[in-house]
Amino acid sequence: MGFFDMNVQDRVVFITGAAWGIGQALAAAFLDTGARVAFIDRDGQAGRAAEWELATRGNVRFIEADVSDEVAVALAVEQVLDRFGRLDVLINNAGLCLRKPLRELSLAEWQRVLDVNLTGAFLCARACAGELMRRKGVIINIASTRAVMSEADTESYAASKGGLVALTHALAVSLGPDVRVNSISPGWIDVSVWRPGGFQEKLSEADHRQHPAGRVGVPADVARLALFLADPSNNFLTGQNLTLDGGMTRKMIYQ
């Protein structure tokens, strides 16, 4: 029995950072399966706009909250349970990227990135753990290929995503067998159509050709993998990080 065979109208998915980009695409994909979706974002204006757009697909609720705020996260989870009565899937997608030379990177800036990308996932997992254990639920963390490879001036982002991959297998061991926990590490994903305004970014043939898969990724690629991980029939898959990058991290580059 697969995800699409389940009584999905009763399943509730909680997504962080879904006002635009990959998060909004994830919300749309789960709504299209018949699931109910709650999402949080610190950008209230963008979140309300996304809620209005997503409402055409199904039952959705936006909650304005910062994932790095312990109290706000706990209150958000309470609101989800009050609204929907259950919680089956948590997707930790909220993320912040700061590119700044190491010698110019302040401790506060470093800490802010880790607070959102890593501590936020911990806070949400902790707040949802009890309900997810009761429901035999799923946690999906959206990490990044930057956990294993880097561009210059991305220390805080790389460290946070590496930590998120490690948090994934730690949670899988601690919460198993009741809760399965996996992470997705996307590579280059073109999120331009899921930005406010929705204009398609123009990519070159070279941009696509450098990927062994022959193209740059799109948010739907991430959504399809998340649906697979959320499928209850895939209950032997836990504690893993799945790289979704069109093969780029396996490509040797010579100059």
Helix (H, G, I), strand (E, B) or coil at 41: strand
Which entry of 30, 39, 157, 194 is annotated as an active-site residue? 157
Q: Are strands 138-142 and 180-186 parallel, antiparallel or unpaired?
A: parallel
Q: Is the peptide bond before 101 cis (omega within 30 degrees of 0)?
A: no
Distance CA 22, CA 2 (A): 23
Q: Catalytic annotation on 254? A: no
DSSP track, 42-93? S-HHHHHHHHHHHTTTS-EEEEE--TT-HHHHHHHHHHHHHHHS---EEEE-
What are the φ and ψ backbone dihedral angles of 198, each rounded to 5 degrees?
Answer: 65, 40
Q: Which of 216, 215, 129 is nearest to 180 (CA)?
A: 129
Distance CA 196, CA 199 (A): 8
Catalytic residue set: 157
